[in-house]
Amino acid sequence: MVDLRSPAAAHEVQDEFLRKLRLSTAAIAGAVLLLLDGPSLLLALRDFAAPAVQITAYLYLCLLVVVEWLLMRWGRSWGKAGRPAAVTIVIAHVAATASLAPGQVLEQADWSTGVVGWVTLCVLFGHPLSTLLPVLLLELGISAASLVAVAHADEERLFGGLVALTAILAFQVCVGGTAAALVRLAAAADAAHRAVEETTTTHRVAIGLHEARKARYAELSTSALPLLEGLLSGALDPADPDVRRRCGIEAARMRRLFAEADDAEDPLLHELDACIDVAERRGIEVHLEVNGPIPPLPRPVRHLLTEAPLVVVTTARSSVRLVVLGTPDAVSVSAVGDCPPIAPQEIGDPRVVVTQLTTAGLRWVRAEHKLVTAGRRS
C-alpha cells in the first residue's frame, strides 16, 4: 500500500493519475474522430457545399491527436505550442461549421461540434481553466450561434441543441478542470518533496559538522586541558619558556578551531589569520604571502595543512614568513621563523606530507596536500 502521507509517494500517485487521464482524453478524441465523425463525414460527403474544407479540417484534427499520442510516448507535452494549436482548432471548427447547410447544424453531418473540445483538451492538457475555458466556450459558442441562426423559429430544436451543447461543455470542463487541479497538486507535492529533502540534507550535514566539531574539541582537550590543569594546580610555571611555548601553540589551535565555524570566503586563509593573530599579540612580526589559486579544501585537510606551520608561527622569537602556495597539483603551507627546535610532526595522514629543515638558526616547515586530478587520485 502506498503511503500518501509521504510527499514523494503522493507525487508519484498524482503523476500516474495525470498520465492516465491524459491518455483517456486522447483516447476519447481519437475514438470520436475515427468511430463517430469519420463515418458521419463519409455519409454526408455528397451533401457538403465544400467537401474539401470538411475533409481538410477532419484530417487536421486527426493529425493533432496523432501528435498528442507521440508526445505522450516520448514523455513530453505541448508546452508553449499548445495555445497556437488551440487557435488552429478554432479556425478548423469555424471553417467546418461555416460550410454546413442550414439543415446540417447539430445533425450527423456536423461532426466537428462534438470533437473539437476533446482535441482542444489534448493540446491544452494541464493548462489552468482560465486558459482552457474561454477556448471551449468559443468553440461551442460558434456552434450555438449557427444553431440560433438556422433554428431560431424552432424552439424545440433550439432548446434540445443548447442542452446538448451545455452537456458537452460541462463534461469537457470537468476533465480539463481535473487535469489542471492535478497539475497544481503535483507541483505542490514536488515542492514539498524538495523541501523535505533539503531539510533532511541540512539536518544530516548539521549532525556531521557537530560530530566533527566534537571530535576536534575532544582532540584539543587532550593537549589543552592538561596544560590548564597544570597551571591551575601550580605544577606548571607560567614563567617557564617551554610552558609559554605550549600555551601559545594551544591558543593558536583554539583560535583556529573557532575560525573553522566562520563563514569565510577562503577558509584556509581565515584559519591561518586566526593563528597569526595569536603571534602578533605576542609582538611577533608575521609576513603572509599567497601565491596561486587556493581551491576549496575539506576541514580535515585544512587542519593538517596548518598544524605544522602553526607551531612555527606561535613559537617564533621575532618574525615569521608564512607562504601559501596553490598549484594545479597541490596546495602547500610553509613557515620560516627563528623558533626553537620543533619536534618531528606525526601527521599520519597520506593526504598531507610535512617537510622540515633547520638552517642558520631558522626553522622551515612545509605541509603539502596533493590535489585529486582527472583520472587519478593523489
- pLDDT string in tens for the chain (378-residue length): 444 455 556 667 777 878 888 898 899 999 989 998 888 888 888 888 888 999 999 999 999 999 999 998 998 888 889 999 999 999 999 998 888 887 777 777 888 888 898 999 999 988 888 888 899 888 888 888 887 777 665 677 777 778 888 888 888 888 888 888 877 777 777 777 777 777 877 777 677 666 766 766 666 667 677 777 777 777 778 778 777 767 776 766 666 666 555 555 678 887 788 778 777 777 788 888 888 888 888 888 888 888 888 888 888 888 888 888 888 888 999 888 888 766 655 556 778 888 888 877 788 888 899 887 544 444
Domain hosting 190: range is 7-198
48 shares a domain with 112: yes
**Do residue 67 and residue 13 come from a single domain?**
yes
CA neighbor of 45 nearest in space, from 117, 115, 100, 88: 100
Residue 115 lies in a domain: yes
Q: Please check whether residue 162 lies inside any domain of the structure.
A: yes
Distance between CA atoms of 197 and 174, rounded to whole angstroms? Answer: 34
Asked if residue 172 and residue 293 are part of one domain, the reply reads no
83 in the same domain as 32: yes
- 220 found inside a domain: no
Q: At what angle do helices 7-31 and 116-123 cross, to 10 degrees?
A: 150
CA trace torsion 349, 352, 357, 363 (10° rounding): -100
Task: Quote the CA–CA distance of 146 and 158 in Å, as a whole number.
Answer: 10
Can you say how many angstroms the Cα of residue 274 is from the centroid of all Cα atoms in its chain?
36
Tally of domains in the chain: 2
Q: Are residues 115 and 65 in the same domain?
A: yes
pTM of the model: 0.52
Do 190 and 50 belong together in one domain? yes
Nearest alpha-carbon partner for 316 in 288, 290, 286? 286
In a domain, 223, yes or no: no
Do 279 and 165 reside in the same domain of the chain?
no
Same domain assignment for residues 351 and 241: yes
* Contact by Cβ (8 Å): 116, 169: no
**Look-up: residue for cell 589543552?**
224
How buried is residue 311: exposed, middle or buried, by Cβ count under 10 Å (0-12/13-18/19+)?
A: buried
